[in-house]
Amino acid sequence: MNPTKISACNVNVFYGASQAIKDVSLELADKSVTAFIGPSGCGKSTFLRCLNRMNDTIDICRVTGDIRLDGQDINAASVDPVQLRAQVGMVFQKPNPFPKSIYDNVAYGPRIHGLTQNRTELDEIVESSLRAAALWDEVKDRLRQPGTGLSGGQQQRLCIARAIATRPEVILMDEPCSALDPIATAQIDDLIHQMAQDFCVIIVTHSMSQARRVSDRTAYFHMGNMVEYGETEQIFINPREKLTETYVSGRIG
């Protein structure tokens, strides 16, 4: 296992009075892919959103416990969520490009964070990000056209390019392929493999085959608990827990 990028210790999440995450502790490795699997409502997305403090935007949500990125407590008062989210990018379930041009979509992050000094540098970032998202060849001739005009799979790759463009260290993906067809999904899967060379990628997925294909390690969530966490092969072939086995063997969920 690569060195630890994120470590979470005794994380609890509450939505008002109900508890969505119960005492989860785990360590996420750098430059690898970790998959969170589990039935709907098990808390895997909620946990993912703790890692870039997206839960802060929900009024009734309360997070306790210790989450560290490179040893730094991300919930500390001194950490600005804006800076954290520049470091920890996110790709959402539904492709959500801005109603702007393809170029402006990718350039948005670098622009607001002031990553570039001039137009040439921005052009370079846009191109390299679109290349990294395997979208460059398809859109290089229509960068000024709206991002919303692309197909679903292209839109999701545009969102990945947009996330990459801010040069994050961690990329969170919340069921990135749930709205895509198998061909588009396969393209994203390839991308995730590529991305693991540079980033710490964490993906929530409902597709066990996708988790198996793309991830190095897998965590199984059930009813707000993290039931089991280990090498993907081991989780799928030889799970230690009964709950994990019933889920991965397809008997529930």
Partner 1 sequence: MIEAAPIMTPSRTPMQQVQASLARRRRKQITLQVLGIGAISAAILMLGLLLTTLTLSGRHALTQTHLTVQVFIDPAEIRADRLPRGGFDDVVTAAIAALIPGADLSNREGRREVSAISSNGAQFLLRDLVVANPALIGQTIALRFPVSDPYDQLFKGLIDRATPEANRRLNDAQIARFDALVAAGAVSTPLNWGLLFNADSRFPELAGLRGALMGSFWALLTCFVIAFPLGIGAAIWLEEFAPRNRISDLIEVNINNLAAVPSVVFGLLALAVFIGWFGLPRSAPFVGGLTLALMTLPTIIIATRAALKAVPPSIREAALGLGASRQQVVFGHVLPLAMPGILTGTIIGLAQALGETAPLLLIGMNAFLTSAATSPFDASTALPTQIFLWADSPERGFVSRTSAAILVLLTFLIVMNALAIALRKRFERKW
**Which residues of this protein are in contact with partner 1, per CB under 8 A?**
52, 54, 57, 59, 82-86, 89-90, 92, 94, 96-99, 108-109, 112-113, 148, 159, 162-163, 166
Closest contact distance (angstroms) between CB of 1 and partner 1 is 27
If the CB atoms of residues 106 and 211 are measured against partner 1, the closer one turns out to be: 106
Nearest CB to partner 1, comparing residues 46 and 166 = 166
Q: Measuring CA to CA, which residue among 184, 181, 191 is closest to residue 133?
A: 191
Cβ at position 26, least distance to partner 1 in Å: 22
Q: What are the tokens at 18? A: 């109900």
Q: State the minimum distance, in angstroms, from the CB of residue 201 to partner 1.
A: 15
Q: Which is nearer to partner 1, 110 or 239 (CB)?
A: 110
In the complex, the smallest distance separating the C-beta of residue 107 from partner 1, rounded to whole angstroms, is: 11
Residue with Cβ nearer partner 1 (146 or 230): 146
Contacts of 186 (CB under 8 A, 6+ apart): none
CB 44 within 8 A of CB 21: no
Q: What is the closest distance, in whole angstroms, from the C-beta atom of residue 193 to partner 1 in the complex? A: 22
Token code pair at residue 155: 């839109």
Would you call 71 exposed, middle or buried from its count of C-beta atoms within 10 A (0-12, 13-18, 19+)?
Answer: exposed
Decide whether 100 or 131 has the Cβ nearer to partner 1. 100
DSSP state of 2: P
Strands (E), 92-215: 170-174, 200-204
CB within 8 A of 90, min separation 6: which ones? 52, 54, 163, 171, 172, 173, 174
